[in-house]
Structure 1
Amino acid sequence: MTASNGLSAAGILLVVLVSLALVALMALRSGSKSITTFIAGYFLLFAFGPVVNYLLGNEIYFGIEPSWIPAAATGMCVAIIGMCAGIFLFPQRQQFDRLGLAADDRTYPSVAVLHIAMSGYAIFTIVKLGGSIAELDKIKKVLAAGPYHYDYLLLAMLASAFFFTSERDRFGRCCFWLHVATYTTYCLILDERDFIFVFVSLFLHARLFRKKVTVWPPLLIGSALFALATYLFAARSGEEADTAQALNQGSLLFVDGFITERYPTFLPYRWGGTYVDALASLAPSWLVAPSPTLADQLVQSYAPGSHSGYGFSLTAEAYMNFGFIGILVVFLLLATCQQKLVNRCDRSLFSIYCSVVFTVVWMYAMRGESFQLLKALLDGALLYGIVSITSWRRARTTRSNRFKATRGAVQDTKVSLADNTA
């Protein structure tokens, strides 16, 4: 089991252990509230799961050549090094409060309207699909759902990031949880796992405001969500959900292996070309002709004419542009952005919305490309802009009343923290 570049199974195992040690080091350095550490753990599981299967002699993702694994595993380890560097360079705060969120004196009626509209679309689609949808495979389910399936998933994901805006009044909370219930049901019926990223992001951000936390809740909830993701993955492929199937989720190893095999041996590095294309593709199609996505290019390179989808990979895109140093820089920048956003998330409702969205989008785009990441963030910014434009300030208060309101917010925060600690 020796790869073509001379790295043996023992060498691959060493790369896996080093990556695991780095994630453990991140957890020790940043504490149990660290969102970037949780993302690194998620990446470790989905990136190295197939590698562990390979080392154990289990079946791995179709199409992966064993000779690809050493370089791909090395690249994924470099990505974790980049995230680790981001945590050490820009440590995450450990104490947060809700004063900045409570100080927002605007009313956002369009958020409730958005949640009601999303719920209505989900209910309408579920009713339209009927009971026969369970007998279809994933591709046929998506076709049956209609042309707006992926648009709904993106908008529903962004709408969920308004949790902290919605929780300020009873009607807003009811609309939000109605949206969450219908969104989750929609995803379960159509074998989509997107809602898991939303749940994880909201849970991790809600924990930031607790005075004392332990590592067990995120581990237990993460394990439960991982088991659910495994079930949905098995349901999509029609295979049995076992340990090997759990470790084989995602196609990062296939994509990374295929790209590291081709670049720069057969194709020259792109030197940032894919990132330029991603930025250009954000412009309207009538202004700039959109470039083929990297996922489409991968299909045409590996299986021309095939209708299969392999997704892509942020690590593979970084490598095809600048090699291993590109992976290091890209994941250092992503970790830095995450750390900076989290450290500012309690300043305002906009700040925490940005942090929640970035967490969801980063996790979702792990098996995508920079265009997906940038487009989702741009759509999130546009959505918040619409919500902000349609908001208005509450009735003005005197300076004395503002002081009383702030003092009340402080007392509410202390009570909430005490309840969470109890």
Structure 2
Amino acid sequence: MTNNNRLISPLMFYILFYIYFTLGPVLAYYLGFGIYSGIKETYIADAVTVFCIALLGLFVSKIVQSRPSKILVGESSRSKWHVQLVLIALSLVLGLAYLNLMMKIGGASKKSDILDKIGALHYIVMYIAPLLVCIRLSIKRSFTKYDAVIFMAFTWYCLLIGERDFVLIIIPCILTYSLYRKISLTKLGLLLLVCSILFTALSLLRANLEGDSVLEALKAILSQGSNLMIVTNVLRWIEVGYFDFYYGVTYVDSVLSLVQLKQFETIGRLTIWFTEMYGANVRPGAFGFSIEAEAFMNFGYIGVFAFFFCVGSLFRVFWLRAIAGDSLALFISVYASYIAIYAIRGDFNMMLKGIVYGVLAWFFFYSITYGRFIIRKISWER
């Protein structure tokens, strides 16, 4: 890797998006722009403390310096003809899912109405399309016409329902490309700027730009994500005694949900829990959640630091393995970058399921592609 590319990593992208989603609305508030009605203004300073502790955990995690001396997983053979059959089968499944979505959407125009009609199909598509692209990037290490078709179909669907997360698929592509080609910081900066514009374009189109359109546009750009609203409400509920710290219960629930033992869950999905606690007459889960709010409601400020330190350390370790040539580590790095950024405005359940199911899919696809694995010993130098 070149010196410039040493700055490019999943952790770098995660930090940038985390700052944008959490501190953007805070900046909008201090600039005097209107904020969401649900944000508790008296707790904004405390929420900023939570965000800064999370960022501290991410930055401290960069201290972890490990260099693998050997590759863990190697390729045993070239791709065979049956790989094309797998791709065709997966494409048909995704195509049928898209067709089913279009039939269910009908004349619905609002995002909430569309999601009510399509239900779980929405989340299947939101996970499968990026999953296929990331699997192929980790094994083929190139972006083909097949991937372009998936990306365009995924983008079209996201634009149709008002989702902006199709932009996040660009991140795995940049990460994979940076392993083999030099990327100048200037070009990377311009690309990130374009991504930011694309990410907020839908909000700007939906916004009612009254008065000074430039200021209204700036307000819309800074006010992405509901993390500030979630965190301020959670802080208030804990202070007034609505509930005490959960001491890891939500993380246990996530593991139970992962292995399909939902009947033993204590709280369940935090996106739905928050809607019920907030008492709003909206679709369950409409507000999303906040990954740092979950850490805080379990173990307080210490929990926030510990959780984000672990996230940053895992990003760091797997990316170093990816640099060494480990295909599985490359997949985890690029796919987890998509899932983890997506889950910033969600919960640990979303992150855990996305990554674990993705890794299982990778093992299936890799075994079909190469027939077997070459597992080698790996040593670490600190």
Provide the residue aligned with 1:247 in structure 2.
222
Question: For the Cα contact (< 8 Å) 1:79–1:327, is it kept in 2?
Answer: yes
Provide the residue aligned with 2:322 in structure 1.
345
What does 1:210-229 correspond to in 2, within 5 Å?
A: 210=181, 212-229=182-199
Task: Encode CA deviations 1:175-206: one digit per residue, 9 max, x unaligned.
Answer: 22221221111111121122222212221232
- Alignment pair present for 1:49 and 2:27: no
Segments of 5+ residues of structure 1 without an aligned counterpart are 1-27, 94-98, 395-422
Provide the residue aligned with 1:138 in structure 2.
111
Q: 2: CA distance between counterparts of 1:179 and 1:84?
A: 34
Provide the residue aligned with 1:208 in structure 2.
179
What's the CA shift for 1:35? Answer: 2.9
- Selected match of 1:283 from 247, 255, 259: 259
- Alignment pair present for 1:355 and 2:333: yes
The amino acid of 1:35's aligned partner reads P
Judge which range, 255-264 or 334-343, deviates more: 255-264
Question: For the Cα contact (< 8 Å) 1:104–1:348, is it kept in 2?
Answer: no
The amino acid of 2:150's aligned partner reads H
Question: For the Cα contact (< 8 Å) 1:90–1:336, is it kept in 2?
Answer: no
Task: Encode CA deviations 1:132-164: one digit per residue, 9 max, x unaligned.
Answer: 56xx11112334546512112111121121232
The amino acid of 1:323's aligned partner reads G
Q: 2: CA distance between counterparts of 1:60 and 1:367?
A: 17
* Structure ranking higher on relative contact order (CA contacts 8 Å, 6+ apart): 2
What does 1:23-422 correspond to in 2, within 5 Å?
A: 31-90=6-65, 103-107=75-79, 108-109=83-84, 112-113=87-88, 115-117=90-92, 120-121=95-96, 124-125=99-100, 128=103, 136-145=109-118, 147-164=120-137, 167=140, 173-210=144-181, 212-235=182-205, 238-240=207-209, 242-266=217-241, 267-285=243-261, 288=264, 291-303=267-279, 305-307=281-283, 309-346=286-323, 347-393=325-371
The amino acid of 1:200's aligned partner reads I
Secondary structure of the structure 2 residue equivalent to 1:162: helix
Question: For the Cα contact (< 8 Å) 1:112–1:175, is it kept in 2?
Answer: no
Tell me the matched-pair count: 357
Q: 2: CA distance between counterparts of 1:325 and 1:92?
A: 29
What's the CA shift for 1:174? Answer: 3.0
Secondary structure of the structure 2 residue equivalent to 1:292: coil
The amino acid of 1:174's aligned partner reads K
Task: Encode CA deviations 1:277-336: one digit per residue, 9 max, x unaligned.
Answer: 111121224874684211111111112553261111111001001111111110000000
Provide the residue aligned with 1:419 in structure 2.
none
The amino acid of 1:44's aligned partner reads I
Question: For the Cα contact (< 8 Å) 1:115–1:175, is it kept in 2?
Answer: no
The amino acid of 1:279's aligned partner reads V
What's the CA shift for 1:55? Answer: 0.5
Secondary structure of the structure 1 residue equivalent to 2:350: helix
Q: 1: CA distance between counterparts of 2:271 and 2:21?
A: 18
Alpha-carbon RMSD across the aligned residues, in angstroms, is 3.1
Q: 1: CA distance between counterparts of 2:208 and 2:72?
A: 48
Residues 363 and 392 from structure 1, CA distance in 2 versus in 1: closer, same or farther, beyond 3 angstroms?
same
Q: 1: CA distance between counterparts of 2:264 and 2:84?
A: 35
Judge which range, 212-221 or 61-70, deviates more: 212-221
Question: For the Cα contact (< 8 Å) 1:166–1:173, is it kept in 2?
Answer: no
Secondary structure of the structure 2 residue equivalent to 1:76: helix
Segments of 5+ residues of structure 2 without an aligned counterpart are 210-215, 373-382
Q: 2: CA distance between counterparts of 1:168 and 1:330?
A: 31
Residues 247 and 118 from structure 1, CA distance in 2 versus in 1: closer, same or farther, beyond 3 angstroms?
farther
Secondary structure of the structure 2 residue equivalent to 1:342: helix
TM-score (norm 2): 0.83
The amino acid of 2:197's aligned partner reads A
The amino acid of 1:254's aligned partner reads M
The amino acid of 1:189's aligned partner reads L
Percent of residue pairs identical: 24
Q: 2: CA distance between counterparts of 1:244 and 1:268?
A: 35
TM-score (norm 1): 0.76
The amino acid of 2:174's aligned partner reads F
Task: Encode CA deviations 1:56-94: one digit per residue, 9 max, x unaligned.
Answer: 11011231121010010110011110010011333799x
Q: Which has the larger radius of gyration?
A: 1
The amino acid of 2:234's aligned partner reads I
The amino acid of 1:78's aligned partner reads I
